[in-house]
Homo-oligomer: A and B are copies of this chain.
């Protein structure tokens, strides 16, 4: 059995707890929290909730610690710290800062003789894998990544920070015409606006000015100003009823040509009713791989690029060759 610790019991941590149940060779050892452990009730009976401080000894009985915090402030600090104490997996998703994060985690993990995986999930993660495979196979071509239709938690948070907004959900939606052009193999150059639209569902605070809120949304730099945005005002009741889920998904497409000038298209897509639960499924099978690499003495920081697919599976090489090849 691979014993998993979860640090952080938000949407992703809860997803990891669920995902472990689908894998007979894994078990949840403990959930670690920054809150008072007695205030946290988890879904798995008989598994302790412990304080994050208990991790400091480096002696918790876990094979892999899955870090379920956020990329903005939690993971840049936590992953190097805990890679010095345990084998760890994170879902660090600030693409631009991956090289720095990798270097810190690699140094800590190597010094301690641990194995770490950063930036696991679906993007970065599965989408990255598909970009890499497709680029190696078709060196001459163009890459396209589309996200959605799905809830962007970052953009929903940005809406909620606007004065007068009580609650909100933001959906990112690929533009159908852009997708069609990409799939046609015409290798279009697409602007930000041409690729995705943003759909906002906003609950106003009492007395808030809808027009002023709309203006603030559509003009918000980086988040909305480069997109075609629709803003819909609804009641909290409607938001809770119709927009409670966290669905997401997207596509990675590479169109290219062989040296014989033949067109080829490789397309990978995800449709997920729950972004955090699916991301957790990815983290858990990569935690299996990390436990194995660690047991083989293969230490340091890894990414999904460094891990042979067979390591993700509980089945033997023989079984995989016989049934899945």
Contact A15 B310 (CB under 8 A): no
Confirm or deny: A259 has a beta carbon within 8 angstroms of a beta carbon on chain B: yes
Contact of A262 among B259, B265, B274, B288 (CB under 8 A): B274
Contact B264 A272 (CB under 8 A): yes
Considering only residues 254-295 of chain A, those with a C-beta below 8 Å from chain B are: 258-260, 262-274, 277-278, 280-282, 285, 288
Given contacts A267-B269, A278-B262, A308-B305, contact A132 B102 (CB under 8 A): no
For A310, list chain B residues within 8 Å (CB): 132, 305-306
Instruction: A119 to B325: give the CA distance in the assembly, Å.
Output: 8
Confirm or deny: A213 has a beta carbon within 8 angstroms of a beta carbon on chain B: no
Contact of A137 among B128, B135, B140, B281 (CB under 8 A): B281
For A263, list chain B residues within 8 Å (CB): 271, 273
For A282, list chain B residues within 8 Å (CB): 137
Contact A277 B305 (CB under 8 A): no
Interface-centre pick from A132, A268, A305 (highest chain B CB count, 10 A)? A305
Confirm or deny: A109 has a beta carbon within 8 angstroms of a beta carbon on chain B: no
For A46, list chain B residues within 8 Å (CB): none
Confirm or deny: A324 has a beta carbon within 8 angstroms of a beta carbon on chain B: yes
Instruction: A282 to B137: give the CA distance in the assembly, Å.
Output: 5
Give the number of copies in the complex. Answer: 2
Contact A272 B262 (CB under 8 A): yes
Q: Chain A 304-316 against B: per-residue CB contact (8 Å), 1 yes, 0 no?
A: 1111111011000
For A305, list chain B residues within 8 Å (CB): 308-310, 317, 320-321, 324-325
Contact A124 B303 (CB under 8 A): no
Confirm or deny: A1 has a beta carbon within 8 angstroms of a beta carbon on chain B: no
Contact of A258 among B18, B130, B262, B325 (CB under 8 A): B18
Q: A22-B258, A128-B324, A306-B317 are in contact. List 9 more A-B contacts (CB 8 A).
A: A102-B321, A132-B309, A133-B309, A137-B281, A137-B285, A258-B278, A264-B281, A265-B272, A305-B317
- Listed from nearest, the 10 A-B pairs whose CB atoms lie closest are A262-B274, A18-B259, A262-B273, A136-B312, A258-B277, A305-B310, A136-B285, A265-B271, A22-B139, A21-B259
A-B contact pairs, 17 of them (CB 8 A): A22-B139, A23-B139, A119-B325, A128-B324, A129-B133, A131-B324, A132-B310, A132-B312, A137-B285, A262-B278, A265-B269, A265-B270, A265-B272, A268-B268, A303-B320, A306-B309, A308-B308
